[in-house]
């Protein structure tokens, strides 16, 4: 899916977690391919591949604190996986983010530090998230 230095992020620039994840990717010196999935949603096939790659269920990748989730009553177990995928494709805001793809795997990066498990290069500098939480120290090592 990617070459040795290619990283793809399904990104929402209005999301702090997504911005922090993007910054952690860039802190390795990699400039990822950024897909603003609200404007350029994945195809059904791509979405199925992404979700399968995360190892999560479709329900686990559904974003629950958004209007379409509540309006469509998507927490009702009557919804099949195919129907949930249809809803996600019709309302991309229902796709939880950020999803990152690298040669080492696919992850839903919530919290943003999850991305560290699949980045092909080490962190170059200290990193502090937007909320002030220190994630990477001056030596480029994970704090927690």
Q: What is the pTM of this model?
A: 0.93
Burial class of residue 118, CB neighbours in 10 A (0-12, 13-18, 19+): middle
Q: Over the stretch 63-112, which tens digit does the pLDDT of each residue have?
A: 999 999 999 999 999 999 999 999 999 999 999 999 999 999 999 999 99
Domains, the chain = 8-136 (3.40.30.10)
> Annotated catalytic residue: which of 7, 9, 15, 115?
15
Burial class of residue 73, CB neighbours in 10 A (0-12, 13-18, 19+): exposed
CA–CA gap between residue 18 and residue 11 (Å, rounded): 6
Q: Is 109 a catalytic residue?
A: no
Q: Over the stretch 13-68, which tens digit does the pLDDT of each residue have?
A: 999 999 999 999 999 999 999 999 999 999 999 999 999 999 999 999 999 999 99
């Amino acid at each position: 899916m990617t070459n040795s230095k290619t990283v793809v992020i399904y990104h929402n620039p209005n999301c702090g977690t997504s911005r922090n994840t993007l910054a952690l990717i860039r802190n390795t010196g990699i400039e990822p391919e950024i897909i603003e999935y609200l404007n350029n949603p994945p195809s059904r096939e791509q979405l199925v591949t992404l979700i399968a790659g995360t190892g999560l269920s479709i329900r686990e990748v559904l974003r629950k604190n958004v209007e379409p989730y509540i309006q469509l009553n998507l927490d009702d177990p009557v919804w099949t996986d195919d129907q949930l995928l249809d809803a996600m494709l019709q309302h991309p805001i229902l796709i939880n983010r950020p999803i990152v793809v690298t040669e080492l795997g696919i992850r839903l990066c919530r919290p943003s530090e999850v991305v560290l498990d699949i980045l092909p290069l080490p962190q170059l500098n200290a990193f502090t998230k937007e909320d002030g939480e220190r994630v990477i120290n001056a030596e480029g090592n994970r704090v927690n």
